[in-house]
Amino acid sequence: MTKIPSSIQSVSTMLLHIAGTPVFFLGFVLIYRSQWIIRFLDAGHEMTVFNALMLSSILVAILIASRIPMTVLRDKIRLSWWQYALWSFAEVAVFSCFAALYMALIYGTYGYFPALGQCLKLVFAILPYPYIVFALLIALVRPDEVEAAEEDLVRFADTTGRLKLVIAHDVILYVEAKENYITIRYMEGSKQKEYSLRQSMRGIEELMEKHGIIRCQRSYFVNPRHVTVLRRDKEGFIQAEMDVPNSKPVPVSPKYYEQLSKML
């Protein structure tokens, strides 16, 4: 099943939705000024602007409550396109319910269900536009973050067997061991990220070999896909230079030098 680009669940996209969607909603209401929208929001009290602002504020609160968990859970739960569409539909539906509650409480002339019908009509006439545009824009601008095929995914679990991190094998730069922990250094778009978990080098050795990530030193696995050259430093130690700016060189012991050099 096709997954959404991970960038759609990123912090930047979360902020875009939380800020951009309510602004679009408010701008549409105040600039387009459809007569039935104005009549509904005015409610005979000349409160169109105030009510549009209040509904936009409610929308901000709904998006914060929804998009923050979506972003926090992105390393554990990557949504498919239909799941993302369902999630977005739920956001809009919940917003409609709270907007109708606001309108019914503020104006006694509206019952809740009549107000709900108008709110559903209002939000589904406006909000599909920013939702569709934002999703397509992110997918087109950052297509490099589309979910990898199932066989290309590396599943890191801790010593208890609990799954902690799932990432594509080609974004991994190297894995470093420190005491009872390993740190996975990987790329997310153009940024370097790292993730640490309680595990040993021996515990992930078979997993690394399966995905072509090889041991290069007692405490390191390196991804040959990102190694540009092997160099000796001033002290004579061999280091693997990575193809990522500002990435530290990875030490290579003589025992693993020949195997790594053949893969470059």
Q: What is the pLDDT of residues 154-206, one digit of tens each?
A: 999 999 999 999 999 999 999 999 989 999 999 988 889 999 999 999 999 99
CA atoms within 13 A on the CB side of 167: 22
Q: Output the pLDDT for position 146.
A: 45
What's the rounded Cα separation, in Å, for the pair 32 and 257?
A: 67
Is pLDDT at 148 greater than 60 in this prediction? no
Q: Provide the CATH topology of domain 150-262.
A: OB fold (Dihydrolipoamide Acetyltransferase, E2P) (2.40.50)
Q: How confident is the model at residue 138 (pLDDT cuts 50, 70, 90)?
A: confident
Whole-number percent of the chain with pLDDT over 70: 94
Please report the pLDDT score of residue 107 as a whole number.
80
Q: What is the DSSP letter of 91?
A: H
* Higher pLDDT among residues 50 and 43, named by residue: 50
Residue 64 has phi, psi (to 5 degrees) of: -60, -45
Is 76 or 41 the better-scoring residue by pLDDT?
41
Supply the pLDDT for residue 81.
87
Chain centroid offset of residue 254 CA? 40
**What is the model's pLDDT at position 147?**
46
pLDDT of residue 149: 57
More confidently predicted of 206 and 3: 206
Block residue for tokens 């105030």: 50
Residue 100, Cβ density class (10 Å: 0-12 exposed, 13-18 middle, ≥19 buried): buried
Contacts of 59 (CB under 8 A, 6+ apart): 21, 22, 25, 95, 99
Provide the residue ranges of all domains of the chain, joining segments of one domain with +: 6-145, 150-262
Tell me the pLDDT tens digit for each residue of 247-260. Answer: 889 999 999 988 88
Q: pLDDT class for 150, splitting at 50, 70, 90? A: low
SS3 of residue 162 by DSSP: coil
β pairing state of 153-157 and 250-252: unpaired
For the stretch 78-96, pLDDT in tens is: 788 899 999 999 999 999 9
pLDDT at position 173: 96
Average pLDDT, the chain: 89
Overall average pLDDT of the 90-105 stretch:
94
Provide mean pLDDT across the span 134-150. 66
Task: Using the predicted structure, report yes or no on whether residue 145 has a pLDDT greater than 50.
Answer: no
For the residues 121-126, what does the mean pLDDT come to? 93
Residue 7 has pLDDT above 50, yes or no: yes
